[in-house]
Each structure stands twice: as structure tokens, then as C-alpha cells.
Amino acid sequence: MFNKVYFSVVVFLFGLVVGSFDNVAIYRIPEGKSLWAPRSFCPKCGTTIAWYDNIPMVSYLLLRGRCRHCSESISWRYPLVELVSGLLFLAVFAKVDFQWTAEFLPYLFMVTVLIIVSAIDLQRQIIPNKVMYPSIVVALAAMGIVSLVRGDYHIVVDSLIGFAVIAIPWALLALVFPRGFGMGDAKLAAFTGTILGWRSELVGFFIGIALGAVIGVILMAAGKKGRKSRIPFGPFLAAGALIALFWGQTIWDAYLGLF
């Protein structure tokens, strides 16, 4: 029991730290800046942030959401991303029954990528190739390793079908109807499908579609969006993928039980 609690705290804190990196990626990747240099700085005054002002969540609270040097407000996105990352890392650890399983790291990697691309897509309405291409390669390699560790070739077959099942049809639609379908969404589907497998990928995709439709209707009813307004779809695909990560197989089995 002690070990479970101890490692849960470690995983949560690790998630907070990765969330801090996520914030760097969310800000720098669309700007074409390096993730590694220079050190973290205030986007308002450009002052390098000291280590004690860069502790995930804690520093934001101690500084009351303002830069120590210029007193400009710090976006609430920073602690939110850190907290979401920590909670999702903890949820993934619970999913694998608090064990260091072969799937644990690929799941954490998926969560991290989804946080980054969702935030970027919300802000810029793009899903950067700089994120997706390396992520897809890493996902394919990771699930190949999982398949070898488990001694089950069905895992890698499931991943390859998951890679293609939504991504290929979506990419074809994006080529034919570029204004209605984003190629970035196809790449995101290829990434999530590789890690989730084709059954959970289908579940996550249709959940994402449903979430997008509901939110779209709400925004139009509120006058925030028009019928022809562009709404970033990446965050909905990401939300669907996360739901599928935790409950995809259960939802799939329940659906099949209807027939």
C-alpha cells in the first residue's frame, strides 16, 4: 500500500514537471523557437526565469500569477497545463494498475503529445508537423517494443490497423475537401490509433465527433461561431482519444453487446 501511494505521488509530480515542458513546447513550437535554449523566460519582458520561480504550480501560486520582474500577469494556461498533465499521468498509472507495465510509457507519451497539440490547435488552429511526424515514429517504435515484450504480435498488428483506420480516410477527405478536413487531424488520428489500437481508436474518434458537434452547436447558439466558422478539431479528437484510453474497450464491448 505504501509503495502504491509513494509511486503515485512520484508519477503525479513527474507529470507536473512534464507539464512545465509542455508549456514550453506550446509557446515555442509555433514560434519556430528551440525547445532547449534559451532557458525559460517571461514572454512579456524577456527576463530569464530563476529556478525558484519555475517550480510547477507552486511558483505561480507564490507569485500570484505575475512575473517577479515586470509584474505582468502570467496566463492561467501554465498552471492548468501542469495540473492536467499531473492528473492524467496519475490516471494512466491507475489504468495500468499501479504497475510499471510495457504500455505505461507509451500511454504517458500519448497524453503529453495530446496536451501539446490540443493547446496549439486551440490557439493557432494548426497541428504542427514538427510534433506529429516524430510522435508517430516514436509511437510505432514503442508499440513494436510493447509487442516484443508481451510476446504478442497481435499488438503490433492492432497498432498498424489503428494507424490507418481513421487516418487514411480522413487524409483522403482532406485532399478532396481541404477547407472542411484538416490534414493535421489525420496525422493526429494516425498517432492515437497507433497507441490505442483500432477498436479504441474508432471509439475515440466517434466520441470526438460527437463532442465537436455538441460544442459547435452550443457556440453557434451563443453567437460565438457561425455556420461557416472554423473550429479546431484537434482538441475534440484528443478528448475522444483520452476517453478511449481509459474506457475504450469497455465502450466497445458494451456496443457489441447491443447486437
Per-residue model confidence as pLDDT tens digits over 51-61: 888 999 999 99
Residue 231 pLDDT:
81
Q: Final residue of a domain: which of 72, 99, 126?
A: 99
Residues 108 and 178 in one domain: yes
Q: Mind listing the pLDDT tens digit for each residue in 30-52?
A: 999 888 888 888 888 888 888 88
Question: Distance (Å, rounded) from C-alpha 136 to C-alpha 163?
Answer: 9
Residues 75 and 112 in one domain: no
Residues 25 and 117 in one domain: no
- The domain total for the chain is 2
Dihedral, CA atoms, 228, 232, 235, 240, nearest 10 degrees?
Answer: 40
Note whether 159 and 208 are within 8 A (CB).
no
Q: Final residue of a domain: which of 99, 120, 148?
A: 99
Share above pLDDT 90 across residues of the chain, in percent, rounded to a whole number: 74
Domain with 111 in it: 101-259
Question: Which of 21-25, 41-45, 115-119 is least confident?
Answer: 41-45
Which of 232, 253, 240, 228 shows the shortest CA–CA distance to 201? 240
The answer on pLDDT for 18 being more than 90 is: yes
Residues 168 and 112 in one domain: yes
pTM for the whole structure: 0.93
Phi, psi of 157 (to 5 degrees): -65, -45
The better pLDDT of the pair 98, 224 is held by 98
Task: Name the DSSP class of 34.
Answer: -
Residues 139 and 72 in one domain: no
Residues 164 and 208 in one domain: yes
